[in-house]
Structure 1
Amino acid sequence: MDLPPGCMVSEKQCQKVCKLKKSLYGLKQSPRAWFGRFTKSMRVFGYRQSNSDHTLFLKKQHGKITTLIVYVDDMVVTENDPEERKALQNYLSREFEMKDLGPLKYFLGIEVSRSSEGIFLSQRKYALDLLQETGMSGCQPVNTPIEEGLKLCVEPNQVSTDKGRYQRLVGRLMYLAHTRPDLAYALSVVSQYMHNPGEQHMNAVMRILRYLKNALGKGILFAKNVDHQSIEVYTDTDWAGAVNDRRSTSGYFTFVGGNLVTWKSKKQNVVARSSAEAEFRGMTLGLCEALWLRLLLQDLGYLSRQPIRLFCDNKAACDIAHNPVQHDRTKHVEVDRFFIKEKLDDKIVELPKIRSEDQLTDILTKAVSSQVFSKFLDKLGMCDIYAPT
């Protein structure tokens, strides 16, 4: 590496370079070096690195379990073995310079609240700061983050907007996606126009901020539930919904023990020639997420014997999944079809019937009315504990 600016050396030494002895903050290899060092220390202390999530470390002994999850240099420890937790804290204090912040209340911008009903996660402070920074604290609130039926596109002669400001706003809003499934679809739409935003796209971003004003403290409540092993997935696809390229938008919600844990709204990479083809790709996306959650539960000691319940309201896709006969409409998704069929035959997944009006994933694939939006948010377990009663 070159000599740093301001380093005073003689003329004879000006052509010399520094020899790197260890990784420092700001260097490209420092995160990998730090995580390798941390992983080695955890293994020495008897912890096992999870195969499902490499940032998760577990230790099981005497029928009890202690888990640690790390994000860069921020850690969360949970356990049912207080003695092991104390031993881990003492060990990490000897190995690294660390600070114990006590019970989890705030982590990576996520606020954690506990009550007799369960654990509540929100990003109220972050949303409030964002509104103040953008000058939208006094804006007129709206009930949905995206207008019903809105289809954004790039128009030939569209009026351009401040590209840098648009990118900064979308980037700040994307951070709210950790605890806000109600923003997932709107953010997936506006993030597609980062390279060429117009006035209509900026107006859509402003509407998201106006929605935040109406739902500052909304978050997810993880209610107490004795059935930790049940996994449910809701998948849906808006066939050819994108105006620019006619690609479909897929989305899924996954529930463990009746509590929402993961979600995604994503435009598919290819154009689907039929709704069944688009639904198969969406079903596979949701099923892969559920299978990963199943492995993660096994790492935590919950060996699930129950099949994964995959809810899809497309009758054609469900019928084809059960029927091994080749169809013309499925030749383009043959791999996905056989993947789902294999899991059905192994009793790993089942496809119960669901009505279209009960399909929660509609809010991840299209802009819906405020009535439908509010009804589905209640079913997802989203609430605002800060709202006046």
Structure 2
Amino acid sequence: MKNCNPAKSPIESKLKVTKDEGGEEVDATEYRRMVGCLRYLTHTRPDLSFSVGIASRFMEKPTTLHFHIVKRILRYVKGTLNYGLNYGKGREIEPLVGFSDSDHGGDSVESKSTSGMIFYFGKNAITWQSQKQKTVALSSCEAEFMAATSASCQAIWLANLVKELTGHSVLPVTLYVDNKSAIALMKNPVFHGRSKHINIRFHFIRECFEHGQIVVEHVNLKDQRADVFTKALAQMKYTEMRNMLGVTDTELSPV
């Protein structure tokens, strides 16, 4: 793949990947090795998180369909070898801000949703995640609610870490969500009678909100930075999201 043609994005827009049970199988060991190497890259390249996460779901019995997905990611990496996160010096006390999003039922195999989150300390991205949810959500509101709960757990842990390292408290942490129904459910437990079926462990975010540890704000979809962790975006939208994450050409960026 060293001489391959670079790709503009790591995964095709709106791509739905299945198990491809009738497809031709490929070397599973080689496939896992390649995906494992790509997962290592996600520690510094948040723009790869969703696509590598999709490839990781089929390591048990990969086929040529899944192998082509990995090759597409490698083609994208070939064209963005110099890309990475740039960190700038900020003030002594910086705010901790997070973005949480979910793609309802995006997984075509199990109909589960994909949660995405990213946290910024000041203007610098410090942690991110793209992960398939463990249970099936019955609505987009429920999927967003579960994603925000996972993000709130991460927010509290990060706030405690920052306080331990700097001695300054960054609470409350602002969490941006683009689903107004989910926000209403977080702030008012009786807002939806249909919410009673949601697993009780996901109601942790309500307690955080009541104790003033989390502030939930609505964000417009076009400014939702966690959107890139939940679905395959069109090329232009993907480029915009990548820039918002802070992943740029390090050779062209000022030091």
CA contact (8 A) 2:104 2:113 kept: yes
Other-structure match for 1:277: 142
2:69 counterpart of 1:204: yes
State the percentage of identical aligned residues: 36
1:159-208 deviation line (CA, Å, top 9, x unaligned): 21222211111111111111010110001000110011111100000000
Structure 2 counterparts to residues 171-186 of structure 1, below 5 A = 171-186=36-51
CA contact (8 A) 1:217 1:387 kept: no
2:236 counterpart of 1:371: yes
Per the TM alignment, residue 335 of structure 1 is displaced from its structure 2 partner at its CA by: 2.5
Greater CA drift, 337-346 or 251-260? 337-346
CA contact (8 A) 1:229 1:302 kept: no
Other-structure match for 1:259: 124
Per the TM alignment, residue 232 of structure 1 is displaced from its structure 2 partner at its CA by: 0.7
What amino acid is aligned across from residue 193 of structure 1 in structure 2?
F
> Secondary structure at 2:151's aligned position in 1?
helix
CA contact (8 A) 2:113 2:132 kept: yes
1:16-54 deviation line (CA, Å, top 9, x unaligned): xxxxxxxxxxxxxxxxxxxxxxxxxxxxxxxxxxxxxxx
Give TM-score, length-normalised by structure 1. Answer: 0.63
Other-structure match for 2:206: 341
Other-structure match for 1:191: 56
Other-structure match for 1:239: 104
Greater CA drift, 336-345 or 255-264? 336-345
Alignment gaps of 5+ in structure 2: none
> Secondary structure at 1:178's aligned position in 2?
coil
Instruction: Indicate how the Cα distance of structure 1 residues 227 and 252 shifts in structure 2: closer, same or farther if over 3 A, else same.
Output: farther
Q: CA RMSD in A?
A: 1.7
CA contact (8 A) 1:240 1:249 kept: yes
CA distance in 2, matches of 1:307, 1:245: 36
Other-structure match for 1:352: 217
CA distance in 2, matches of 1:250, 1:324: 22
What amino acid is aligned across from residue 241 of structure 1 in structure 2?
G
Other-structure match for 1:52: none
Give TM-score, length-normalised by structure 2. Answer: 0.94
1:71-118 deviation line (CA, Å, top 9, x unaligned): xxxxxxxxxxxxxxxxxxxxxxxxxxxxxxxxxxxxxxxxxxxxxxxx
Alignment gaps of 5+ in structure 1: 1-135
Q: How many residues align?
A: 254
Q: Identify the match of residue 301 of structure 1 among 158, 161, 166.
A: 166
CA distance in 2, matches of 1:338, 1:285: 10
CA contact (8 A) 1:250 1:268 kept: yes
CA contact (8 A) 1:251 1:266 kept: yes
CA contact (8 A) 2:8 2:235 kept: yes
Instruction: Indicate how the Cα distance of structure 1 residues 334 and 160 shifts in structure 2: closer, same or farther if over 3 A, else same.
Output: closer
CA contact (8 A) 2:184 2:191 kept: no
CA contact (8 A) 1:193 1:201 kept: yes
CA distance in 2, matches of 1:227, 1:273: 44
